Amino acid sequence: MPRLSVTQRRRLWFFTRLTLIVLALAITLLPVYWMVNTSLKNQVEVFTSPPTLWPQNLTFANYVNVFTRRHLGTYLFNSLVIVGSAVLLSLLMGSLAGYALARFSRLQQKLNFWVLAPRMIPPIALVVPLFLMLQEIGLINKKLGLILVYTAFNLPFVAWMMRSFFQEIPVDLEEAAMVDGATRLRSFRDIVLPLAAPGLAATAIFSLIITYNEFFFALILTSTPAAATLPVGTAALIGKTQTLYGEMAAAGVVAAVPLVIFALLVQRHLVRGLTMGAVK
């Protein structure tokens, strides 16, 4: 077999990488395409065999139905309020906790394991106590109840993630600010947090995805569209005798839009956050 030249090897490597990237994108985006494709079909065409690769009779009736008949707008609003509030609260408190774990050695030794310990408990073991607690204070089927629950479950993850980002920031910067008269809290706010912005973005989007897609607690702790979230509203489209696949696909497309917009907005910070500390 003749030996390839340097140029030929480079071209072969380029086409190999291109092929692998295209294959990975096809595998990743095929379910998304199929969801959009299904959302634009009527109920008869959804069950056509063999399935069509694109709608033969393009229709937006599924989108109209989920907003006018299935309260999707209410579910979407609830999800945005609940998830946004829970993520903001968990970032605020989790960042302070992560900073304390990163800077105070005594806390590191005693609390590192216990910070993550709550995430090791199966959610089904906690749902009954949480239900009884929220019922006692009148927060069943209320947005505030879900906000508190999601904040509590996000806190360990946020604190642990932010701890690793804060450890990458030199302590000398804070000490220099405190020598100039700044308090520890002010040095944290003005110096550490801006430097940890990529880490905050990465932590925020992971927390957002986890909370936005959460179904179990939302199903148990809410019972009406007044406080239920998008996953619960989408699951309601599965009936005892019929499943509305077209409307479910339309609801999935609508549900994905806020996450895509948020990811695009923080994309630059997200990439920096994921690689923060990788090169020293």
DSSP structure string for 213-225: T--HHHHHH--ST
pLDDT at 202 over 90: no
Residue 243 pLDDT: 81
Q: Nearest Cα to 212, choosing from 117, 155, 146?
A: 146
Model pLDDT for residues 53-100, shown as the tens digit of each residue: 888 888 999 999 999 988 899 999 999 999 999 999 999 999 998 888
* Residue recorded with tokens 């086409």: 15
pTM, two decimals, is 0.84
Q: Is 243 helix (H, G, I), strand (E, B) or coil?
A: strand
**Calpha distance 87→89 (Å, rounded):** 6
**Cis status of the peptide bond prior to 2, with omega within 30 of 0:** no
Biggest CA-to-CA distance, the chain: 79
Residues in the chain: 280
Is residue 28 located within the same domain as residue 91? no
pLDDT at 135: 92
Q: Are residues 18 and 94 in the same domain?
A: no
pLDDT tens digits, one per residue of 110-142: 676 777 777 788 888 889 999 999 999 999 999
The answer as to whether 48 is a domain residue is: no
Which residue range is the domain that position 26 belongs to? 6-39
User: For the chain, give me the number of helices (H) and strands (E)?
Assistant: 15, 0
Inside any domain, residue 191: yes
User: What spatial distance separates the first Cα and last Cα of the chain, rounded to whole Å?
Assistant: 43
- Domain of 264, CATH number, reads 1.10.3720.10
Q: Does 259 have pLDDT greater than 80?
A: yes
Q: What is the pLDDT of residues 204-245, one digit of tens each?
A: 888 998 899 999 999 999 988 889 999 998 888 887 777 888
| pLDDT tens column, 12-57 | 888 999 999 999 999 999 999 999 999 999 888 888 878 888 888 8
| Dist CA 83 CA 157 (whole Å) | 15
How many structural domains are present in the chain?
2
- Same domain? For 27 and 124 the reply is no
Please tell me the distance from the alpha carbon of residue 212 to that of residue 231, in angstroms, as a whole number: 8
Note the pLDDT of residue 110.
66
